[in-house]
Structure 1
């Protein structure tokens, strides 16, 4: 049923595009015949919007990877820098939550570790929606923020780093064998909001896969049993994602970009002072409205990164006003 709905949505989207193209071309022809420049301008503006929508549909049609259509986990980790970096991690958490909501996807917060003064040390989201992993897979890497720190009494400019890591949710059709004897399971008290029960019992679960060093944790549910089940799902997803990466030609480059949350490894820079600019260092895509980007306007960056993966970097990238 889900596959059928996705196909219907794609077909209906194509039909709408054809109808809008035909209607606006007829309006332009009519406006030129009657000498009505207002009609022509409105129709041309509508065609520009249609072109942007078609570009997105074209990119989305390329999301045919093994796990692109799946839901995704998204992890945020603050880098070195204490409170400033932890606040930046919290801003990124909000940014991806807003992007998912803008895209009609559902978001669940699986675990979060608050910072000492502000922000977060780490968090994990579960994002549910068609092609969630396909869209977000290019966001893995280090993100750099430059701004006047609100935590600096001398109002100096600070540079902060946080990392994003995405991996797909796997379904029952994908079999991942894990030897439980090679895993260490720890329980601990959940942090953050959640009521008296959450904060006074060891309901949170952490699983470490010793051979690979992969660590997952979940504290969403009050029940340790439910958190344990979700943590196992997350671990299977992480191991599966690691295998997918091995099949990609860029695996070594991506692994190198995650070795350190700091200089030389960032994929995108967000500059709030002394000027306003967000720039993706892989594609050259830019925006002079950082607040829009931080509010979840990420599609142009994702589209450019996906196009680069498919076309090998030969595609023109967008400058966003």
Structure 2
């Protein structure tokens, strides 16, 4: 078998393994058998709403399982044809089977893409919250570079971006900022970006032109609608008001209209200053708090479902996600997947898809690479 064809075969098998793991293959087949039995029960439709829900679950599960089986069968059939054609010297049979496998690779890729973005909240809009680390102006400038990077990525994918909170640094950059990214699968694509991002460069703020290392944290959480219910006790909240700051326009205020809400039990803090009305800012901040609590619940469920990988999927300030080196050489390296780029300028201009796709695949697989950081 040609090396190129073998590559296609390996890629299809990888996609199949991803789908099987995502479905939890044995559990999915048992559940489908259970749903098939329930669908034959004449009393099922005594409760039409529940019946419809069960039938939708059955159809979705049946389609996924059938697709996986069909792709696997097509792959095996064409591999056998290639082996037979090579044994008998029938180049025409080999060529047709190779073309079929190449077409099957595209189908498997689409299947994998749908699997990567099939989470409960993946289709939602998302908040992206950025905080500078210790280091003053250096880290604040780095945080502003990350803010631009995610804004550019969103714009390149046709998403809309709204500034929710912007806290400027004293000399340059930002202390913190929160943007709202609106678009199809916005949360699904960006959810793996939560963590610590590290920059190494010759500082433009150091007169001695020394190399500096800066850190900033990113937190991504989905926008939830009014139908999402979460119990929040007012006694668990600390609400602070402050004067909005920013680069101008609606982000500059002469009154204390900006809102900061701290959820004391979880120590989650959200901020909003995008409106001149304190009342509207408080309403937006409460929605952000609900979203953060929802995202925490999604994390809890994922850790329970992947208990053996829990230590690998935890995300926080202590978890370094990616390093961006601008001097003395140029390299961006993801420390979870090992994906690298020698063009940091493009990455910082929003070219993130290779990193996002690899991180999503690793998350679905429940695996991470053992990758050393770069200096």
TM-score bucket (shorter structure)? 0.7 to 0.9
User: What does residue 233 of structure 2 align with?
Assistant: 179
**Is 1:161 matched up with 2:219?**
no
Query: Paired residue for 1:123, among 177, 180, 189?
Result: 177
Counterpart CA distance in 1 for 2:296 and 2:222 is 10
User: What does residue 318 of structure 1 align with?
Assistant: none
TM-fit CA distance, 1:192: 1.3
Counterpart CA distance in 2 for 1:251 and 1:68 is 20
**Is 1:84 matched up with 2:168?**
no
> Would the aligned equivalents of 2:127 and 2:222 in 1 still touch at CA under 8 Å?
yes
Q: Provide the aligned C-alpha RMSD in A.
A: 2.3
Counterpart CA distance in 2 for 1:297 and 1:197 is 28
Counterpart CA distance in 2 for 1:314 and 1:166 is 20
> Computing the radius of gyration over CA atoms, which structure comes out larger, 1 or 2?
2
Deviation readout 1:170-205 (Å, 9 max, x if unpaired): 112321121122212111110113459942111111
Counterpart CA distance in 2 for 1:299 and 1:169 is 22
> Would the aligned equivalents of 1:114 and 1:191 in 2 still touch at CA under 8 Å?
yes
Please give the residue correspondences for 1:34-45 in structure 2 after superposition, counting only pairs within 5 Å.
none
> Would the aligned equivalents of 2:312 and 2:367 in 1 still touch at CA under 8 Å?
no
> Would the aligned equivalents of 1:245 and 1:251 in 2 still touch at CA under 8 Å?
no
- The unaligned stretches of length 5 or more in structure 2 are 1-101, 304-308, 370-375
Query: Paired residue for 1:217, among 271, 294, 316?
Result: 271
User: What does residue 325 of structure 2 align with?
Assistant: 271
TM-fit CA distance, 1:224: 1.0
Counterpart CA distance in 1 for 2:154 and 2:363 is 22
Instruction: Judge which range, 241-250 or 193-202, deviates more.
Output: 193-202
Mark the CA change 1:115 to 1:74 in structure 2 (over 3 Å): closer, same or farther.
Answer: same
- The unaligned stretches of length 5 or more in structure 1 are 1-47, 316-321
SS at match of 1:95: helix
Deviation readout 1:233-280 (Å, 9 max, x if unpaired): 00111111111111112555454x4244xxxx3110101111111010
**Higher share in helix:** 2
Counterpart CA distance in 2 for 1:164 and 1:215 is 14
> Would the aligned equivalents of 2:128 and 2:220 in 1 still touch at CA under 8 Å?
yes
**Is 1:241 matched up with 2:319?**
no
> Would the aligned equivalents of 2:154 and 2:181 in 1 still touch at CA under 8 Å?
yes
User: What does residue 307 of structure 1 align with?
Assistant: 361
> Would the aligned equivalents of 1:107 and 1:125 in 2 still touch at CA under 8 Å?
yes
Counterpart CA distance in 2 for 1:116 and 1:53 is 52
> Would the aligned equivalents of 1:189 and 1:200 in 2 still touch at CA under 8 Å?
yes
**Is 1:258 matched up with 2:316?**
yes
Displacement over 6 Å in runs of 4+: 51-54
Deviation readout 1:78-97 (Å, 9 max, x if unpaired): 11111111100000000000
Counterpart CA distance in 1 for 2:213 and 2:121 is 35
Counterpart CA distance in 1 for 2:106 and 2:195 is 26
